[in-house]
Amino acid sequence: MASVAIPLDDDFEDSEFIVPYDRLTEAGHRVTVIGTESGKALVGKRHQATVTVESAAGDVEPEDFDAVVIPGGYSPDHLRVDRDVVEFVRRAVESGMPVAAVCHGPQLLIEADVVAGRRMTSWPSVRTDLENAGAKWVDQVVEDANLITSRRPEDLQSFSDAILKRLEHAER
């Protein structure tokens, strides 16, 4: 089964972590929460989920994983100022592995400078940032090469389906 990294910090959108995490683990994949500091306890912005960072981004390599999933909320905005997290995400995208981001998650992709020329989506307030960074914004769940992007919690089932489908094809 695949190994998936989830970059996370405080104030993540609870459902955007819980739904993909549960779907991935139920499918037998190993999920590792990475962040700025190993052992740091994180709380979702709606206080429905609490999780502990298992590895600092600077202590792991993208090559140790088969995919990356970036939940939204305020977490991506916190993470985009951490050099190690940004570099981890940039290298993951450049490697060609599936990298999925929901809601505000694309903020981290913008900071990693990997969105120019890509079709993407996000929460509406991130649209202008994506367009200014060179992406073409569309209002639907989008798969563009190895990037999977989604708009909001209501998209989580199709977003998770797309991630699982990519991992299934990668295992063949």
User: Tens digits of per-residue pLDDT, 112-170?
Assistant: 999 999 999 999 999 999 999 999 999 999 999 999 999 999 999 999 999 999 999 77
User: 44: helix, coil or strand?
Assistant: coil
Q: How confident is the model at residue 172 (pLDDT cuts 50, 70, 90)?
A: low
Instruction: Determine the Cα–Cα distance for residues 6 and 72; give it in Å rounded to an integer.
Output: 11
Instruction: Determine the Cα–Cα distance for residues 6 and 86; give it in Å rounded to an integer.
Output: 13
How confident is the model at residue 170, as a pLDDT?
72
How confident is the model at residue 124, as a pLDDT?
97
Catalytic, 97? Answer no
How confident is the model at residue 86, as a pLDDT?
98
Which one of the listed residues 34, 57, 97, 103 is annotated catalytic?
103
* Whether 68 contacts 4, CB under 8 Å: yes
* Whether 163 contacts 148, CB under 8 Å: yes
CATH architecture of 3-171: 3-Layer(aba) Sandwich (3.40)
On the question of pLDDT at 44 being above 90, the answer is: yes
For residue 148, report the phi and psi dihedrals to the nearest 5 degrees: -120, 120
